[in-house]
Amino acid sequence: MRIAIVNDMRAAGEALRRVVESIPGHALAWTASDGVEAVAMARRDRPDLILMDLLMPHLDGAEATRQIMANTPCAILVVTATVSGNISLVYDAMGFGALDAVDTPNLGSGGELTGAGPLVEKIGMIAKLVGGPAAAPRVRQPAAAVGSPRLLVVGASTGGPKALCDLLLPLPQEWNAAVVIVQHVDAAFSAGLATWLTDRTGRSVRVARPGQPPQAGDVLLAGTNDHLVLTAGGGLEYRAEPREIFFRPSVDVFFESVAAHAPKTGVAVVLTGMGRDGARGLAALRTKGWHTIAQDEATSVVWSMPKAAIEAGGVTEVLPVGRMPSVISARLG
């Protein structure tokens, strides 16, 4: 991949350059010292991946991400001095289309590089995503299912946090349905994402606990790097298998478990995202009589996941995210 670096700190930029040039098969495309320069550079020479800092002069990384994804979209990884210290901006950037976030490696006074491992791992994962999605999974499930409230199940990836806000905010505060969300996000950020969604929607969004059965009014978020599944007993569990699935947690794995075990039909939604995760699972739910919705291209940051679901024949209707709440409420209210 051709990788660009956006960072206003000389030491941080040098650390990132060393990381990029140390990974076989990757090359430095260009560097920018602030968001304004990054937007202009991306327009002139779109790279495969941008390593985007957050706190910069003139234009911060979240707004630069928004402008780049609107004009010259490409994979963006937030790389900032402290992810936990800038968590609100991190989720703003992810809402605009950043794929993930990681702390910046350190360059010591003697020139030694430390803390590069997590960044190298993230770049490797994104390289697989950009180069081609992993095969959609098949999940073996027991046939039996027990009672539970009607479900709204949602899968999202790139640009998902903002789309989830737009989806959740207008839904009824009290209704006889539960919401379960699988958003592609590292386990380290899932609790922060739940808090971020709670703050912006006024709903109590919680990370799903192992063994927890979805209850009416719940809004639950997959919270580990294992796959979330609905079990035959009606509870939610995290499972490492299938280990070969690139997306963790996988929307397909979750949707297929719901298709196998939910005793009542509900509504399933695939929102904005890169790749094909969710296409096969949505088709399985539609076969079982679920109402299935894909986000339209105009309101998606990246239309790959909804498009793949449409092409797989799993979509009942295609809607802008702003129209989804009224349709869902009519179906589940």
- CA 62 vs CA 54, 58, 66, 68, 187: distances in Å: 6, 12, 6, 10, 21
Q: How far is CA 311 from the centre of its chain?
A: 21
Q: How far is CA 67 from the centre of its chain?
A: 19
Q: Which of 277, 291, 296, 304 is catalytic?
A: 277
Q: Which of 33, 148, 157, 250 is catalytic?
A: 157
Q: Which of 60, 100, 166, 184 is catalytic?
A: 184
184 belongs to the catalytic site: yes
CB 214 within 8 A of CB 180: yes
157 belongs to the catalytic site: yes
206 φ, ψ to 5°?
A: -125, 150
DSSP E strands: which ranges in the chain? Answer: 2-6, 27-32, 49-52, 75-80, 100-103, 106-107, 113-114, 150-156, 177-183, 205-207, 219-221, 227-230, 236-239, 267-270, 291-295, 317-319
Q: How far apart are the first and last CA of the chain?
A: 47
Put the strands of the sheet holding 267-270 in their side by side order: 205-207, 219-221, 177-183, 150-156, 267-270, 291-295, 317-319
Place of tokens 């129209």: 323
Q: Which residues are catalytic?
A: 157, 184, 277
